[in-house]
Structure 1
Amino acid sequence: MAGRGGRGDMLRKLLAKIENQEVIQPGPSSSTAISPVPVVKEVNLNQVLGRGYTQLRPDVVVPSVANDPSPSKISPVTGAVAAPVPVGRGINLLSKLKLDAENVASKTPQTAAEPPTTHLKRMSIADRPPEIHKGESGRKTCITANYVRLICEPNKGMFEYFVRFTPEVDAMKMKYDLLNEHRNVIGETRTFDGSVLYLPEKLPQNEMNLLSTNKLDGSAVNVSIIFQKKRTLGECIHFYNILFKRIMIMLNLVRFNRSFFNPAEAVSIHQYKLEIWPGLVTAVDLYEDGIMLCCDASNRVLRRITAYEIIQTILHADPTNYKDEVFKALIGKSVMTDYNKKLYRIDDIDFTRNPTQTFTKGDREISYIDYYRTSYNAVIMDHKQPLLIHRIKKKGRPNQQAVEQLICLIPELCYMTGLTDEMRADFKVMKDIATVTRVTPNQRQHSFRKFIKNIYANPDASDLLARWGLSLAKNTVELTGRLLPPEDLYFGRHTCIKGSPEADWGRSATSNHMLTVVDLHKWQIIMTKRDKKVASEFVDMLRQVGPQMGMEVISPSVEVINDDSIPTYVNRLRKLIRSDLQIVVIIFPSLRDDRYSACKKLCIAETPIASQVINSRTISQYKKLRAVTQKIALQMNCKMGGTLWGVKIPFKHVLMCGIDTYHDPARSGHSWGGFVASMNETMTRWYSQACQQMQGIELIDTLRMALLACLKRYHQVNGVFPETIIIFRDGVGDGQMNYCVEHEIPQLVNSFLSIASTYNPKLAFIVVQKRINTRLYMHTSGGSDGDFCNPPPGTVMDNTVTRRHFFDFYIVSQHVRQGTVSPTHYVVLQNTTKYTPDQLQKITYKMCHLYYNWPGTIRVPAPCQYAHKLAQLIGQNVKRKHSDLLSDKLFFL
């Protein structure tokens, strides 16, 4: 029977066949196998059945609670549709469907050998009309995006059939053979998992009985093919994504993670031994205006240096302690094997093994040298080099332990990927790389159109699409966006600066008085002897530029230290910090994370005081000193409690919050959350809370306490609690939306009861997504159809390519001079406020003007960026909660 534990394995083989990859099954026990070849990850059964469905039992498929946001409760056995659940406007529909799991388990399962007497009715996502949340303000503008419509022929699609064998057949291979005898009836194009058959065209009859012959004993087997339903495009999204992955392989592209790259068009930067591969990332999904393919250009940086060369360099530099240095240099890094173009992470290095040793391949022992020579025609020169280890952990069944498989790699054949920290810190290296990786809108659109052209030029790829009745539109989708008017900026002395189309006010920020100024009267500067000259020039320049921005600067107390060691800086700071000191300026002769962390920990957590750390190289060039000093003066004013500029905020009694998290890569499972909230009506003063996710405690528990602290502080400052709370939540991917709806939002709402039983403010919870593949383009004025440019700041897109059942929108808030601008995606998971889509879009764009570390708009709202900076500083350097005495100042800029 199909339900006897084999269906999942069969479907995995089926999916692997589609992707033309080998599936290696885990063993029954917790054994460790060693293999020199890559292992394809195990395929989830849910992926084959289609998005939005979960297999609760081998023979019953019901809509998933997490993935099928249907407003109707569906019986998993009879398919009866219960009364619809009310849907609230702007609330994530993922939380609307609740299945009774206990009721499912209590029903009698239907055997796979028997056809269902009642068809299982599923409320498809595509069957429901899309949610429309459109704004109206602003000037309408015609733009396009990196989306193209996926079209299916009317008489084709995904037709689902139930297949029954009489007498029953258990072996999957035999089922394939029995079904394949009727290719002339069902056709060559099909997908079969042992009981469910998918065809691109409907058979002439709803039920067909075909006679096959069992090749083992010559007995007759009746094959019944019973029509179930025609799946909508929205139910086939995962299958179509697999289809396009297969097309990428047909186009000879190499897969790295979720992107595919073209090594034939690689660009070499010889002076740095770098190679940049251009590529594409594609995704088929269901949007407001139907099924579309999103395609964006991507790049992968490879180093033309092998792991073996790094080992040899370290060995020659320090033969006595080279193993520890090799571990530091290679563990955790990614490498690419040149013979099969696959990526691996180095988890360990085995110095006890070398390529001359053998492993079991099939029924024989073979050495690594012979294996690579016979399989890939790769000759290993050094027979004494160690082996690199890559670990793959595969979860077993509930009653089994996880299976760990080791893949042994040869350092000679592994090229390093990515950039080193030294390369990232080298401005010239990054500038040369950017000339290749910064792709203009025209180049992105050209690569998209070239990709579509290559599909139809490739016989195998075009035939694969045609067999399933699919085609791609010739041009990208045309959209109607809106351009919000530029925001006016307000400075000190009631100065108003008209907003510019570029949303840049760098000159105005340094030539006008700051909005709220803190004069610099008592401050301390610390430096080494060799930095006395640059420190003196910096102080003189600060006294010149300060008054132009409204800041009175008195000469500081100067402390010169003999060396730049960590204890010297820390001990001297402990002696100098006093209660009447406004800020301490620390000049470092060079960049060192450990020294920076030690000083920041002292000034932020132990002895709280505003601190400004400056690298002496930053202020060493006198020609650039004025511009650098102006920016430092702005930062120092913020850290002492001042404000720089503002925009017109039309709302009152609103608490604007930002949430972001920092995950410590060195300590798995440890995170720091940053929570920043506005404290005044102009959204220029902020109160911050950092909270650590302790082991066994959810991060939302600490975030709830942070929100309560912000509410109480707001009441202390304003005398009332806010009537409306708008929360911008960063760091949430598509897979975590349901967690936000089911856990974060309810707990934040419940925290209001801690203020008062009658306190119930209106709440808008907005997820901010930066890492997206959507790109928006505008046709060049006066240019041809093939000329595109970046949309200006303030461009809003809230239709067509937005999510079908979400309240979401895109905003282009930045002006970029090179490359392609990236819009930011905002998803409103809950909105109980009175604000319309227009108002939420406007306030979101206004918030992008209020980040005081940059005199221009940024990609995300200011509270989000403040929360990011706070969480990163605390999680990366301080690793302790900051003092409450600094909470009402932007000490983390």
Structure 2
Amino acid sequence: MSANYIRVKCKNEGVYQYHVSYNPQIDSKFIRCRMINEHKAVIGETKAFDGALLFLPKKLPQENTILVSKRRSDGADITLTIKLIKVVPPEFCTQVYNILLRRVMSILELCQVGRYYYNPHTPSSVPQHKLEVWPGYITAIQEQEGGLMLLLDASHRVLRTETVLDVMQAVVRNNPKGFKDEITKLVLGNIVLTRYNNKTYKIDDLLWDKSPQSTFPASKTGQEISFVDYYKTNYNVTITDVEQPLLLHRPRAKRMPGESEAKQEFICLVPELCYMTGLSDAMRSDFRLMKDIASHTRVTPAQRQMAMKKFLDAVRNNKEANSQFVNWGLELDCNTIDMQGRLLPVENIHFDRYVARDVQNADWGRESSNNRCLVSVELKDWVVLATARDISKASGFIEMMSKVCPKMGIMIHSPKERKLVDDRTETFIRTLREVITPTTQMVVIICPTSRDDRYSAIKKLCCCEQPVASQVINAKTISQPQKMRSVTTKIALQINCKLGGELWAVEIPMKNVMIIGIDVYHDVAKGKRSIAGFVASMNKACTRYYSRCYFQGQNQEIIDGLKICLISALRKYHEVNHCLPDKIVIYRDGVGDGQLRAVADYEVKQLHTCFAHFPNYNPNMALVIVQKRINTRLFLKGRNEMENPPPGSVMDHSITRRDWYDFFLVSQHVRQGTVSPTHYIVVHDGTGLTVDRMQRLTYKMTHLYYNWPGTVRVPAPCQYAHKLAYLVGQSIHKDFSEALSDRLFFL
């Protein structure tokens, strides 16, 4: 196997770290840096300096070097004392090396957009959607288990060829009365690109009382100049619309030379010269647009390798860029790292009376629709709601349900049908209140269009006020006769899960174990509070679950809610099994690298305090952090070119962390592009499971997500927790009824 890492060889023993003191003291970082730069003859051209600490690739002749600079304001002599502190080994120099990497990107004329760098000179045009795609790179020098390495990956940035002014004018045409509010909503918080200098800015405000004819003091002369004249003089750009409002960007406050406090600056931008970046929600929901973009951004493993080689060649062939590495004693390997990976065994998928063996590409879609569910729930009392326009589609759906359900072992009775007089949200809600009774198992709501407000209202009623399993279907989904059978089959399986059924299982060779999934959703609608979804298995096969959610208030730690959820889950487990679990394995999503140590040191201890609520109870517990948003890519070396590794591929050495117990797992199969592995970091393990058994358990759990007849990127409890937190945070914004907690009602 291979990965997108290039070994970095360091010829020096490391980096020399010095402390620079000034006498008399100089407060301004700007002046301190200027004075250091006056002594290149002594310290050399190659350095990294933050105003106090100086990093050099070579050792100065003296341990204490005394230099003198003149202060420009009064001509006073300032003594600089450069004192050697220590030699920093290469593995601890990544911060310095990444500063050097940013310089290399600048030399290669790559433009920083967000965190990564892109090439503005070779864009791919998507003219039918007024878009273009810039190719670029993700880079980071990191210390891995196998030594110092450069993580390198191909990236793409979608930019629009329409300006902010174009967007504004379109809004004014469509909404001449309330255009200001709509424009503010569309533009505020977005990143824009100014092509005259290839810089990006976040829009913090709109200045409706300013225009390009407004003036500001020029930085060099202090004389007032209009924006029109400024852009013509400095960039030879002519602004055509002199009435447009201006955009405001607030950069991070900086302390200027000679000033004791940081000063907030403002940058005014002209909409006509600002290009939107990224995609709007409307664009993301446009299937054709996303497909056209994917043809540029979805690259195969072989194409990724070519992009990496192109970057390495560009560095080597550019004398100035290459010298950045040479001057620090660094040398990049010519190729990506080669490693020996492992392939976990293919899992058998157990249905009621059938076992699917040797499943290809981790996909058992055909088997799931042609075999009886592991546990099916008889659907006796259910209601179908539809508008008059969609009532025929509802009848077709009911008829198809009666055809597909028996094959999957699901007994189904005829539902009550209700025809709605109109499609107003109030009509849906009023009718639901009328039809839901204590014996109702399921309500199926067929909506004419997709509307967030209607969906939220329905889910609030069915999850909180009158708890009942609910299935919302867009009428468009069941309007194509040729797709009706496959669509209805998926819905029938989903309904069975929501009623407490189980679709399939894999062999879990552990007794009395509880598997928990945790994920966090940030609810922007309610004061940016966070919602933690918590899902815990309740049986040996890990096919039945208990769910809770927790709302994290301001100045409140997420662990407080997780403790409440864990205690509730243990009580429920005891109620179901008449005993408590011997082992607990927690998969926690939504934790960044910066939080790992806090989770390992603090949260583990806090979770252990939950066991004191039960007499003489001390189970073995493991806490595994699940990271999906990573830049690591794994490749299988094929006969002629790089390929995607098959599901079950594990990498647990060389590119893993030196100071953590971690591994990468490819659990899913992709038909296009490059597969993304998931990074698992075991921050605590008291279970006694071997590394291989921990990896196999993790892989097994990726088979049990019932919304997809195949493996998923994360263990099923994590994916369930994500779905739960998303439903609560996006739609219902409050806790759901306890009556639904033992079913997967949120699928």
Q: TM-score range by the shorter chain?
A: over 0.9
Does 2:281 match 1:421? Answer: yes
Aligned to 1:261: 118
Match of 2:651 in 1: 797
Q: Is residue 2:333 matched to residue 1:473? A: yes
User: Using the alignment, how far apart are the partners of 1:874 and 1:181 within structure 2?
Assistant: 59
Please list, as runs of the form range in 1=range in 2, the aligned pairs for 1:544-555 lying within 5 A after superposition: 544-555=403-414
The answer on whether the counterparts of 1:151 and 1:472 sit within 8 Å (CA) in structure 2 is yes
Q: 1:340 aligns with which of 173, 197, 214?
A: 197
CA gap of 1:678–1:170, structure 2 versus 1, over 3 A, is: closer
When residues 762 and 396 of structure 1 are mapped into structure 2, their CA distance, relative to the original with a 3 A threshold, is: farther
Q: 1:773 aligns with which of 628, 631, 635?
A: 631
Change (3 A) 1:211 1:767: closer
Residue 355 of structure 1: which of 180, 189, 212 is its match?
A: 212
Q: Does 1:526 align with 2:385?
A: yes
Matching residue of 1:759:
617
CA deviation map 1:103-152 (0-9, x unaligned):
xxxxxxxxxxxxxxxxxxxxxxxxxxxxxxxxxxxxxxxx0000001111
Would you say the 8 A contact 1:731–1:768 is kept in 2? yes
How far does residue 763 in structure 1 lie from its aligned partner after superposition? Answer: 0.8
In the TM superposition, residue 799 of structure 1 has moved relative to its aligned partner by 0.2
Q: Aligned partners of 1:173 and 1:356: how far apart in 2? A: 33
Which of 132, 152, 160 pairs up with 2:10? 152
Partner residue, 2:660:
806
Aligned residue type for 2:474: N
Please tell me the root mean square deviation across aligned C-alpha atoms, in Å: 2.4
Offset, 1:426? 1.8
8 Å contact from structure 1 (residues 501, 793) kept in 2:
no
Q: 1:372 aligns with which of 231, 253, 272?
A: 231
Flag the 1:361–1:166 CA change in 2: closer, same or farther, 3 A. closer
1:496-516: per-residue Cα shift (whole Å, max 9, x none)?
A: 110324111000000000000
- What secondary structure sits across from 1:578 in the alignment? coil
Match of 1:611 in 2: 470
Aligned twin of 2:324? 464
Question: Is it true that 1:381 corresponds to 2:235 in the alignment?
Answer: no
- Aligned mates of 2:69, 2:710 — CA distance in 1: 75
For residue 267 of structure 1, report the CA deviation from its aligned partner.
Answer: 0.7
Scaled by the length of structure 1, the TM-score of the pair is 0.80
CA pair 574-377 structure 1, distance change in 2 beyond 3 A:
same
Which residue number in structure 2 is paired with residue 597 of structure 1?
A: 456
1:737 & 1:211 partners in 2: Cα distance? Answer: 43
Q: 1:693 to 1:186 in 2, by over 3 A?
A: closer
Deviation at 1:182, TM superposition (A): 6.1
More divergent stretch after superposition (233-242 vs 768-777): 233-242
Assess if the C-alpha contact under 8 Å between 1:296 and 1:444 holds in 2. yes
Question: Contact between 2:133 and 2:159, CA under 8 Å: does it hold in 1?
Answer: yes
> Does the residue aligned with 2:576 lie in a helix, a strand or coil?
helix
Alignment of 1:739-888 (within 5 A): 739-756=598-615, 758-780=616-638, 782-783=639-640, 787-888=641-742
Q: Is the 8 A contact 2:534 2:549 kept in 1?
A: yes
**2:133 — aligned with what?**
276
Residues 183 and 616 of structure 1: is their aligned pair in 2 closer, same or farther, counting only changes over 3 Å? Answer: closer
1:310 alignment counterpart: 167
**CA distance in 2 between partners of 1:215 and 1:307 (Å):** 46
For the 8 Å contact 1:662–1:872, the answer to whether it is kept is yes
2-structure distance, mates of 1:717, 1:686: 11
- CA separation in 2, counterparts of 1:533 and 1:541? 12
Q: Does 1:713 align with 2:554?
A: no
Q: What is the identity, as a one-letter code, of the residue corresponding to 1:844?
A: T
Match of 1:632 in 2: 491
For residue 633 of structure 1, give the secondary structure of its aligned residue in structure 2: helix
SS of residue paired to 1:416: strand
- Equivalent in the alignment of 2:271: 411
1:283-320 CA-to-partner distances (Å, cap 9, x unmatched) read 11111111111011111111111111122122233333
- Go from structure 1 to structure 2 and tell me whether the alpha carbon gap of 1:284 and 1:193 turns closer, same or farther (over 3 Å shift): closer
The 5 Å alignment of 1:198-277 reads 198-203=55-60, 205-207=61-63, 226-277=83-134
| Equivalent of residue 577 in structure 1, options 421, 436, 441 | 436
Query: 1:688 maps to which residue?
Result: 547
CA distance 1:401–1:712, change in 2 (3 Å): farther
Q: Deviations over 1:476-503 (max 9, x none)?
A: 111111000100000012x211032411
Query: Deviations for 1:585-618, whole angstroms, at most 9, x for unmatched residues?
Result: 1000110010011011100100000111100100
* 1:437 maps to 2:297: yes
Task: Please state whether the residue corresponding to 2:506 is helix, strand or coil.
Answer: coil
- Is 1:488 the counterpart of 2:342? The answer is no
Deviation, structure 1 residue 580: 1.3
Q: How does 1:282-297 map to 2 (within 5 A)?
A: 282-297=139-154
Amino acid aligned to 1:598: A
TM-aligned CA distance change 1:170 to 1:321, over 3 Å: closer
In the superposition, relative to structure 1, how do residues 305 and 194 fare at CA in structure 2: closer, same or farther (>3 Å)? Answer: closer
Aligned to 1:560, what secondary structure does the other structure show?
Answer: strand
Matches within 5 A, 1:660-679: 660-679=519-538
2:46 to 181, 189, 198: 189
Contact 1:745–1:765 (CA<8 Å) still a contact in 2?
yes
Q: Secondary structure at the match of 1:810?
A: strand
Identical residues among aligned pairs (%): 49
CA distance in 1, matches of 2:327, 2:303: 31
CA distance in 1, matches of 2:183, 2:143: 47
With over 3 angstroms needed to count, the CA separation of the structure-2 counterparts of 1:873 and 1:169, relative to structure 1, is closer
Unaligned segments of structure 2, at least 5 residues = none
Cross-structure match for 2:425: 566
- Measured against aligned partners, the alpha-carbon deviations of 1:217-269 in whole angstroms (never above 9, x if no partner) come to 99998876554432101221101011111101111111012110111121111
Alpha-carbon offset, residue 330 of structure 1: 2.2
Q: Displacement, 1:392?
A: 3.9
Q: Deviations over 1:394-413 (max 9, x none)?
A: 4999xx99865432211101
- 1:651 paired to 2:651: no
When structure 1 is superposed on structure 2, of 326-335 and 433-442 the one drifting more is 326-335
Q: Which amino acid aligns with 1:260?
A: Y
Shift of 1:180: 6.5
Once residues 299 and 666 of structure 1 are traced to their aligned partners in structure 2, the CA distance between those partners, rounded to angstroms, is 30
Structure 1 gaps of 5+ residues are 1-142
How far has the Cα of 1:467 moved from its partner?
1.1
Deviation at 1:520, TM superposition (A): 1.6
Cα-to-partner distance string for 1:804-834 (whole Å, 9 max, x where unaligned): 1000000000111100000000001111111
Per-residue CA distance 1:57-88 (angstroms, 9 max, x = gap): xxxxxxxxxxxxxxxxxxxxxxxxxxxxxxxx
- 1:452 partner amino acid: L
Shift of 1:331: 2.5
Shift of 1:164: 6.5
CA distance in 1, matches of 2:78, 2:390: 90
Bigger shift: residues 193-202 or 231-240: 193-202
Distance 1:308 1:836, change over 3 A: same
Distance (whole Å) between structure 2 residues aligned to residue 609 and residue 436 of structure 1: 44
